[in-house]
Amino acid sequence: MAETERLSSWRFIDSGPMTGRQNMAIDLALAEHAARPAARAVLRLYSWKPPAISLGYHQSLAEIDRERCLADQIDIVVRPTGGRAVLHADELTYAVIIPQHDPCYDDRILTVYERISRSLLAAFRNLDVAVEFERAEKAATDFSRGELAALCYAGSVQYEILHHGRKLVGSAQRRLDGVVLQHGSILLGPRHLDLPYYLSRMDDNRRAAVRSYLERRTITLNELSKRPVTYERLAQAMRCGFSAELKAEMVAEPLTAAEQQTAQRLLQSAGDRQSAENRQ
């Protein structure tokens, strides 16, 4: 695309495994600093240790069985992006941060969504994995909308990535002071299917039925690839795919001291909120 040909350099950050609160604090810090005039776009990759359930920022913690999560050592966090609940365990998560002055930015949400999705397709081609766009919005029909409303992988929207109708990547986008922040969860293995067991207001029979539905609706990279796909292999494919599609050099750069300070402040704030919620 002509607009992206002017793009010369993105920051590339591979954080590896971190806690859910650390991951969200860093992404928010990067988005906050991206509003500054000299900021560049960022591709950040990471995983979650321990596993975590992330909720879209409109969702309520009441949708999650916190006692069961605590017993199974599953963290619960709220993402700054929208979308619905995801169990992050056997996967790679990406965060894309695009300042308003960057050539890849666009006021149209779906235009940016498509550009990122095309970069993901390029990454999967590096793994010899054949997937396609979802061209039209679809709604889940097997269950009532109320039962599936909490689940990210229960439905798909335009420019999400599928294999024969089964979802491989769940993504959500939000604008923060003119900065695009998009999150995406790329499935490596089947642990995401356990999410229904951590939902509240649902008996075990219904949880099993919803899990079966998700199994039919989703697919993992290791089901599609002839060679095992590790986090490290996928991370390299992502770096090369985004670089090729966006015609940008992916320059490895750690967080700046200012970004680290902002992330620490946000992490402390999240910890204070969590403590208050635990006392309720």
Tell me whether residue 152 is one of the annotated catalytic residues: yes
Whether residue 11 contacts residue 255, with contact meaning beta carbons closer than 8 Å, is answered with no
Q: Which residues pair with 86 in a beta bridge?
A: 54
The number of C-alpha atoms within 13 Å of 52 and in the hemisphere containing its C-beta is: 23
Q: Which amino acid is at 167?
A: K
CA-CA distance, 244 to 232, in Å (whole number)?
19
In the set 69, 104, 152, 240, the catalytic residue is: 152
Strands (E), 19-110: 42-48, 52-55, 75-78, 86-88, 91-98
Total count of residues recorded for the chain: 280
* Catalytically active residues, by annotation: 152
